[in-house]
Amino acid sequence: MKIPKLKNQLHSPIQRIRLPDSIQLQINGCIPLVITGDVVAAGSLIAKSATVGNIERSIHSPFNGRVTSVSHSTVDIEGDWPNAQTSAAHYEATGIEADKIRESCRMAGIVGMGGAMTPTHLKLIPHRPIDTVLVNICESEPFLTCDHRVLEEYPHEIECGLKLAMTAVGAENGLVAPKINNYTSGYERFLVEETLGRKVPVNRRPTDVGVLVLNLQTVRALYHAVFEQRPLTERVITVDGDAIKRPGNYLVPIGTKVGHILECCGWDENISKQIIIGGPMMGDSADKNTPITAGTGGVLALTSEQTAKVKDNPCIRCGLCMDACPLGLWPGQMDRNPSADLLACITCGACQFVCPAQRPIVKNIQKAKNAYLQKSDSL
Partner 1 sequence: MKPGPFIHSGFTTQRLMFITTLAMIPMVAASIWENGFDAMILYVVSILSVFCMEFICQRRVIFEYSALITAVLLVLMLPANAPWWISVVGAILAVGIGKYFFGGFGQNIFNPAVLSRVLLMALFPAIFIMPEWTVDGVSGATLLSKEIGASMPSLSSLLLSSSPGSLAQAMPITVLLGGVILLVYKLIDWRVPLFYLATISLLSILLPGSEKILGHVPYLLGNPLLHIIAGGSLLTSFFLLTDPVSSPFSSNGRVVYAIIAGVFTMIIRYYTPYPDGAAFGVLLANAMVPTIDKYMLKLEASVF
Per rule CB under 8 A, is residue 285 in the interface with partner 1? yes
Query: Smallest distance from the beta carbon of 269 to partner 1, in angstroms?
Result: 18
Can you tell me the distance from the alpha carbon of 175 to that of 185, in angstroms, rounded to the nearest whole number? 16
Which of 82, 181, 314, 378 touches partner 1 (CB under 8 A)?
A: 314
Whether the Cβ atoms of residue 189 and residue 50 lie closer than 8 Å to each other: no
Q: Which is nearer to partner 1, 1 or 50 (CB)?
A: 1
Positions 196 through 225 that interact with partner 1 (CB under 8 A): 201-202
Q: How many CB atoms lie within 10 A of CB 334?
A: 23
Q: How many CB atoms lie within 10 A of CB 175?
A: 16
Query: Smallest distance from the beta carbon of 327 to partner 1, in angstroms?
Result: 6
For β-strands 173-176 and 211-215, DSSP reports them as unpaired
Whether the Cβ atoms of residue 319 and residue 354 lie closer than 8 Å to each other: no
Per rule CB under 8 A, is residue 316 in the interface with partner 1? yes
- Per the document, the length of the chain is 379
Per rule CB under 8 A, is residue 353 in the interface with partner 1? yes
Binding characters for partner 1, 1-20, by CB under 8 A (x = yes): x--x----------------
Positions 87 through 126 that interact with partner 1 (CB under 8 A): none
Per rule CB under 8 A, is residue 358 in the interface with partner 1? yes
Query: Smallest distance from the beta carbon of 128 to partner 1, in angstroms?
Result: 21
Can you tell me the distance from the alpha carbon of 210 to that of 198, in angstroms, rounded to the nearest whole number? 9
Can you tell me the distance from the alpha carbon of 230 to that of 221, in angstroms, rounded to the nearest whole number? 8
Query: Smallest distance from the beta carbon of 6 to partner 1, in angstroms?
Result: 8
Per rule CB under 8 A, is residue 303 in the interface with partner 1? no
Q: Which is nearer to partner 1, 23 or 350 (CB)?
A: 350
Can you tell me the distance from the alpha carbon of 295 to that of 283, in angstroms, rounded to the nearest whole number? 11
Can you tell me the distance from the alpha carbon of 38 to that of 65, in angstroms, rounded to the nearest whole number? 8
Q: Which DSSP string do the residues of 232-266 spell out, in sequence order?
A: S-EEEEEEESTTBSS-EEEEEETTBBHHHHHHHTT
Rounded alpha-carbon distances, angstroms, from residue 92 to 107, 224, 229, 230, 254: 9, 12, 6, 10, 22
Q: Which is nearer to partner 1, 18 or 317 (CB)?
A: 317
Binding footprint of partner 1, residue count (CB under 8 A): 53
Q: Which is nearer to partner 1, 253 or 295 (CB)?
A: 295
Per rule CB under 8 A, is residue 302 in the interface with partner 1? yes
Which contacts of 266-269 are long-range, i.e. CB under 8 A and separated by 24 or more positions?
267/243, 267/301, 268/243, 268/244, 268/301, 269/243
Positions 248 through 277 that interact with partner 1 (CB under 8 A): 274, 276
Which of 209, 222, 352, 368 touches partner 1 (CB under 8 A)?
A: 352
Per rule CB under 8 A, is residue 363 in the interface with partner 1? yes
Binding piece for partner 1, criterion CB under 8 A, among 37-45, 144-152, 245-253, 356-364: 356-364
Which 3-state string (H, E, C) describes 103-163? HHHHHCCCECCCCCCCEHHHHCCCCCCCCEEEEECCCCCCCCCHHHHHHHHCHHHHHHHHH
Positions 127 through 146 that interact with partner 1 (CB under 8 A): 142
Residues 6+ apart with CB under 8 A from 304: 271, 273
Per rule CB under 8 A, is residue 182 in the interface with partner 1? no
Per rule CB under 8 A, is residue 157 in the interface with partner 1? no
Q: Which is nearer to partner 1, 20 or 206 (CB)?
A: 206
Residues that bind partner 1 (CB under 8 A): 1, 4, 142, 201-202, 274, 276, 280-285, 300, 302, 306-311, 313-320, 322-323, 327-330, 333, 341, 344, 347, 349-350, 352-358, 360-363, 366
